[in-house]
Amino acid sequence: MGALNEGHFNVELENGVKLGGCIEVGLAEETETLAIEDAVKVLLQGLGEDINREGLRKTPLRVAKALREGTRGYRQKAKDIVQGALFPEAGLESGVGHAGGIGGLVIVRDLDLFSYCESCLLPFQVKCHVGYVPSGQQVVGLSKLSRVADVFAKRLQNPQHLADEVCSALQQGIKPTGVAVVLQCLHIHFPNFESAFFDSNHQGWLKVLVTSGSGVFENEKADIWGDFTSLLKFKGINVEKIQSQDSTDQCWCPSQSFSKMGPVNSGMVTAVASILQSVGEDPLRKELIGTPTRFVKWLMNFKNSNLEMKLNGFVRGRTGSSEIQWGY
């Protein structure tokens, strides 16, 4: 039989087995979704839209659900994914990192992820490549590498911090001889930005490559790093094709240098700060202090820019119909 009391429930089956749970989690998620929905309505009204017109009636709810899903990493733990997925590797020499007499470098490449830029809240695409050298006679299921990377991608990020978090989580969870992470990132288009922020094809997408390593991969000049990058190149992944973030003075996010617009709608800024809190972030975190204002500026600039929107991406209205190429 069951009983419901103050948001908790306990069910006892006829065979004596008890099932326990808590509906507070569901209620909390619903509350956060409603808060985001209300904030999106404020943003739409700030843009001069009628939130009651047919095409926009369900838009706030759809945006809220998408943001909750796109930031689910705040409600997940990487260690929960790795635990239980470690298993012994036959022929692995203890503490050496060689399986069956062959070099023990394990690589998973071309993991397609996306994240939200913590500077402006716009999405950016991530192509993730992970390698590690096993130790302690255990390896992890390959699918878990992708899931761990996705946990951290589904948070507000910048590329280097994302790479470091994935690397650290795998190092702590698997305890290998070393972990290497390479990320190729594409930031979404900013309308009417100076060409200095565009990629080499001037198509409005900023490309950045970042790396992170632990253990035997801490020194990027080590032979093991060369082995890792050589295997990536063998599969057609040119890790030298994209300018490294460390080798450029440009900010990762172009919004950091966007200062053309004057004051912005304070109500819209407050609404964005509310969204940050609802997805699980601290709006007062140092890296997020100016994010609500930058996002509102982007919205207003996007509204006023001379852009055409097409299913295959964004094109600059004044320069024709060159398509955005997502590949590397």
Of the candidates 296, 290, 299, the one whose C-alpha atom is nearest the C-alpha of residue 269 is 296
How many angstroms separate the Cα of 275 from the Cα of each of 32, 85, 306, 319, 321? 9, 34, 28, 35, 34
When the pLDDT of each residue in the chain is averaged and rounded to a whole number, the result is 78
Given a cut of 70, whether residue 195 has pLDDT beyond it is: no
Say if residue 56 is exposed, middle or buried (CB neighbours under 10 Å; 0-12, 13-18, 19+): middle
Give me the pLDDT at residue 328, please: 43
The string of pLDDT tens digits covering residues 54-80 is: 999 999 999 999 999 999 999 999 988
Cβ atoms of 81 and 148 closer than 8 Å: yes
CA separation (Å) from 219 to 141, 160, 181, 236?
26, 16, 13, 24
Most confident of 24-38, 83-97, 203-217, 255-269: 203-217
181 phi/psi in degrees, rounded to 5:
-130, 130
**Which CATH code, of 3.90.1260.10, 1.10.132.20, 1.10.286.10, 1.10.3730.10, is assigned to 2-68?**
1.10.286.10
Look up residue 280 and give its two tokens.
Answer: 């699980």
Query: For residue 234, what pLDDT is reported?
Result: 85
| pLDDT (tens digit per residue) in 233-268 | 888 887 765 445 454 444 678 777 665 556 889 999
Cα 11 to Cα 18: distance, rounded to the nearest angstrom: 6
Domain 71-256 has CATH 3.90.1170.50: no
Helix (H) or strand (E) holding 159, with range, is helix 159-174
pLDDT given for residue 165 in this prediction: 97
Instruction: Name the strand (E) or helix (H) holding 144.
Output: helix 142-153
Show me where the domains of the chain are located.
2-68, 71-256
12-26, 179-193, 263-277: segment of lowest average pLDDT: 12-26
pLDDT at position 207? 85
Q: Do 106 and 133 contact (CB within 8 A), yes or no? A: yes
Report the percent of the chain where pLDDT is more than 90: 48
